[in-house]
Amino acid sequence: MKTNTINVSAGTPNKKPGRKSKQTTDKDLEMSKNEELEKTIIKPISNISVVPKKKILFVASEATPFIATGGLAEVIGSLSKALAQSTNYDVRVIIPLYSDISWEQRNKFRYLGNIFVPLAWRNQYCGIFSYEENGVIYYFVDNEYYFKRPGCYGYYDDGERFAFFCRSVMEILPFLNFYPDILHCHDWQAALAAVYLKTIYCFRPEYQFIRTLFTIHNIEYQGKYSLDILEDLFGISNNWKYLLEYNRCINLMKAAIECSEKFSTVSPRYAQEIKDPYYAHGLDPIVRRNEFKLVGILNGIDFDSYNPATDQSVFSHYDAENILPKKICKQELQKMFNLPVKTDTPIIAIISRLVAHKGLDLIQTVIEEILRQDVQVIILGKGDSAYENYFSDLSRRYIGKLVTVIAFNPDLSRKIYSGADIFLMPSKSEPCGLSQMIACRYGTIPVVRETGGLFDSIKPVVNGGVGFTFANYNAYDMLYVIREAINCYQDKDYWMELIKRAMSTDFSWRHSADEYEKIYGEMLK
Ligand code: GLC
């Protein structure tokens, strides 16, 4: 069908009447007048198709490239960017303005103004900043009392801090005159936005058509608080207690599940798993009861950023067609960590938060047996001090074989992804996991436990997949497949094939962003 587009910014050129250039004849002038006239004629309305963009607002506690403590931030940064590439969406993201957001970035933010936000009997200052990147508009909620602290979480008053943040989100909408079609809240820190909408704001006309999608990135962290702060701190009437109460506590994740039109997790397998008490950290009855509105969509990774052909952090660039420079990455990595430079010794990498659900106790159980083989092991991460101390001590006992770096260091992690051969990720539970996909992108072959997103993304090599997998949470099952991987590594041609296959697997957002679009579409029907 032929359609007309109206370009609102294309005004009439600012020509002074009566001034003619030498070459312009009266006939030319007449013709150009006719053109002008034609432009201003209003075309019949039936011919005009104006499809308004769907407005999506992500509410989250972190987002790359501004502030990140884990996978959540990467998903917020890269999914919003992928959605914004579609002409159907106006995508915006709102996060707190933490003091850890660098001044280099803050200096580019635009101050839009400030409002005061009610939070029970409090009335708190809320500054609003904005910044646009990759077609996504970011908003930052400023309040120094709540957010001028190092890090993002772990404070005694986190409940109040994120209640303020969520209440600010509701109050900022009229200030911006932006009422989203979809309010997409992520994890417990954003849960109260969904709850405030359904308990306080949806009675106001502008808010009544906003639909909510709540995404669980990890069901372990639910936001649990004592019941007596419901009115005094969260400013929610006790009449709504039934929505928030669970096991004699306020449970914010439970409340968001109840209040949202749909809720999702970050892989289809994890969506199944959280109906089971083994994975649900007590929330399985709630998940089962709301199963009819649950979906699981596998995360993607940012293929522009994670690209060994262009990545500024890696020692040498390579791609699936030209894998050889990966050898240089390995050699340089070995030199950097004072490991013997041996091309035939496989490097096993672990890049992870050092917390229990990442399967570190399996590694502890058999690490010395692994180290008895001809391998080198590099561990990068930080987390629980018990694990930090254990792996640091171990590296002092296995100099030249095992290196431990206690840090969250994106630049170093890219050097390790590109220089290693095998990537170990034996999680006890894994909602999605991004590292196994990043490892594949850099041609490092994953060894994973078949759970959550690891199950969905990494199929066993014997079935034509790209990794080595084991099902039971058992250290010796893991050891068995690690040995299998080490054996395969010795067959150079086979391993090259495997690297090629891993690097050619499409873990970009292309497919998953389509899935989100489908869900948004269903919610807006
Ligand atoms: C959480 C999950 C991880 C997931 C990430 C992004 O950090 O633990 O599995 O990949 O969120 O969704």
Which helix (H) or strand (E) element contains residue 245? Answer: strand 245-246
Ligand 1 atom closest to the CA of 430, numbered from 1: 9
Whole-angstrom CA distances from 510 to 298, 460, 500, 513 are 11, 23, 20, 6
CB 60 near ligand 1, within 6 Å: no
What does DSSP say about strands 262-265 and 110-119: parallel, antiparallel, or unpaired? unpaired
> How many angstroms does the Cα of residue 185 sit away from the middle of ligand 1?
15
> How many angstroms does the Cα of residue 240 sit away from the middle of ligand 1?
30
Strand intervals (E) in 266-314: 294-296
> How many angstroms does the Cα of residue 218 sit away from the middle of ligand 1?
6
Give the model confidence (pLDDT) of 396-445 as tens digits: 999 999 999 999 999 999 999 999 999 999 999 999 999 999 999 999 99
Mutate to test the pocket of ligand 1, among 186, 299, 357, 408 (most ligand atoms within 8 A of CB): 299
CB-CB contact of 474 with 362 (8 Å): yes
Which helix (H) or strand (E) element contains residue 136? Answer: strand 136-142
How many other C-beta atoms lie within 10 A of the C-beta of residue 406? 17
Query: Which residues lie below 8 Å from residue 401, measured CB to CB, with a gap of 6+?
Result: 339, 371, 375, 376, 377
| Whole-number Å distance between alpha carbons of 481 and 362 | 13
pTM of the model: 0.89
Six-digit token string for 327:
């050898």
**pLDDT score at 51:** 79
**pLDDT score at 31:** 52
Six-digit token string for 418:
């590109």
> How many angstroms does the Cα of residue 433 sit away from the middle of ligand 1?
5
**pLDDT score at 15:** 36
Atom 3 in ligand 1: residue holding the nearest Cα:
433
Q: At what angle do helices 326-336 and 410-419 cross, to 10 degrees?
A: 120
3-state secondary structure 331-398: HHHHHHCCCCCCCCCCEEEEECCECHHHCHHHHHHHHHHHHCCCCEEEEEECECHHHHHHHHHHHHHC
CB 300 near ligand 1, within 6 Å: no
| Whole-number Å distance between alpha carbons of 274 and 461 | 27
> How many angstroms does the Cα of residue 267 sit away from the middle of ligand 1?
10
**pLDDT score at 258:** 98
CB 70 near ligand 1, within 6 Å: yes
Question: What is the C-alpha R_g of the chain?
Answer: 27
CB-CB contact of 250 with 244 (8 Å): yes
CB 75 near ligand 1, within 6 Å: yes
Whole-angstrom CA distances from 432 to 189, 435, 481 are 19, 9, 21
Ligand 1 atom closest to the CA of 72, numbered from 1: 6
Give the model confidence (pLDDT) of 106-144 as tens digits: 999 999 999 999 999 999 999 999 999 999 999 999 999
| Whole-number Å distance between alpha carbons of 78 and 340 | 37
Ligand 1 atom closest to the CA of 427, numbered from 1: 9
> How many angstroms does the Cα of residue 72 sit away from the middle of ligand 1?
6
**pLDDT score at 34:** 54
| Whole-number Å distance between alpha carbons of 210 and 382 | 39
CB-CB contact of 517 with 84 (8 Å): no
Q: What share of the chain is helix, strand, coil (3-state, %, to 5)?
A: 40, 20, 40
CB 431 near ligand 1, within 6 Å: yes
Q: In degrees, to the nearest 5, what angle opens at C-alpha 70 toward C-alphas 141 and 279?
A: 110
Atom 7 in ligand 1: residue holding the nearest Cα:
71
CB 117 near ligand 1, within 6 Å: no
Ligand 1 atom closest to the CA of 270, numbered from 1: 9
| Whole-number Å distance between alpha carbons of 260 and 243 | 11
> How many angstroms does the Cα of residue 523 sit away from the middle of ligand 1?
24
CB 427 near ligand 1, within 6 Å: no
Atom 10 in ligand 1: residue holding the nearest Cα:
433
Q: Give the strands of the sheet with 249-251, arranged side by side.
A: 224-225, 249-251, 245-246
Tokens 């294309």 belong to which residue?
10
CB-CB contact of 140 with 131 (8 Å): yes
CB 296 near ligand 1, within 6 Å: no
| Whole-number Å distance between alpha carbons of 442 and 472 | 27
> How many angstroms does the Cα of residue 135 sit away from the middle of ligand 1?
24
3-state secondary structure 8-36: CCCCCCCCCCCCCCCCCCHHHHHHHHHHH
Atom 5 in ligand 1: residue holding the nearest Cα:
71
CB 264 near ligand 1, within 6 Å: no
CB 432 near ligand 1, within 6 Å: yes
CB 345 near ligand 1, within 6 Å: no
Regions of the chain with pLDDT less than 70: 1-49
